[in-house]
Amino acid sequence: MNPIVNLQGKVGLVTGIANEKSISTGVAEACAQAGAKLIITYQNEKTRAFIEPVIHRLGVEDVFLLDVTKQETMDAAFAEIDARYGKLDFAVHSMAFAKRDDLHGRVVDTSADGFALAMDVSTHSFVRLAKKAEPLLEKAGGGALVTMTYLGSEKVIPNYGVMGLCKAALEAATRYMAAELGAKGIRVNAVSPGPLMTRAASGIAGFDGLMAAAVERSPMHALVTPEDIGALTAFLVSDAGRLVTGGVHFVDAGYNIMA
């Protein structure tokens, strides 16, 4: 009997790996263990050095430049995927950015340029990725798109600022794209992890306190790990999740349900 989460024969794109502790690293590991052929992207040559250990450990052969602020790099990456595989079964979007002042400051003080940059990198990049992936997912007979969100989309989180607005828009985009792409067999979902220490999280003031509160207040009194996030994502992109679309799926030991 085949395992429930089986990605044998599937080709998947995983973006956003910054180092070995990244959420995307856990996702890549889970998908690789389930048998997927992985494609990994990096933002620039400087950042590639930090992901080399992940590339080598997982035996990833296809590693492409993809800087979402430079559309030509996304175009080139997807053209290469098409040339090499002629299809794509799933793509994982795990990218977000906001200027430090906009992240820690008041939303009402956010500059127009800062707001636009945060929304472009954190939210619209998922829309652009979906647009590029759509024809390749169709060639595969359908597939899955997954993005990473956070509870700050619906609750006010200290020092999360404009990113809360970006995540709210990201979740709305997930629902709309799920409705638009469902007829083609393309599923779109968002995963919402509890707080965990990543390079991105280290830029949020007081994040240690958020993690401590998550342990104290969550029903299971535990912190999520990249492996936990990877396991859920692997399920969502597998055939086991074939009728799951348009949702925000929490993996946070139940923290989001607590008042």
Active site residues: 150, 160
Token readout for 24 is 């995307």
Q: Where are the beta strands (DSSP E) in 57-198?
A: 62-65, 90-93, 143-148, 186-193
Known binding site for NAD(+): residues? 16, 22-23, 43, 67-68, 95, 167
251 neighbors 192 (Cβ within 8 angstroms): yes
Given a contact cutoff of 8 angstroms between Cβ atoms, the answer to whether 174 and 147 are in contact is yes
Q: Is 187 helix (H, G, I), strand (E, B) or coil?
A: strand
**Binding-site residues from annotation:** 16, 22-23, 43, 67-68, 95, 98, 167
Taking the chain, what is the end-to-end CA distance rounded to the nearest angstrom?
Answer: 42
Compute the Cα dihedral for 95, 101, 107, 108 and give only its sign.
Answer: negative
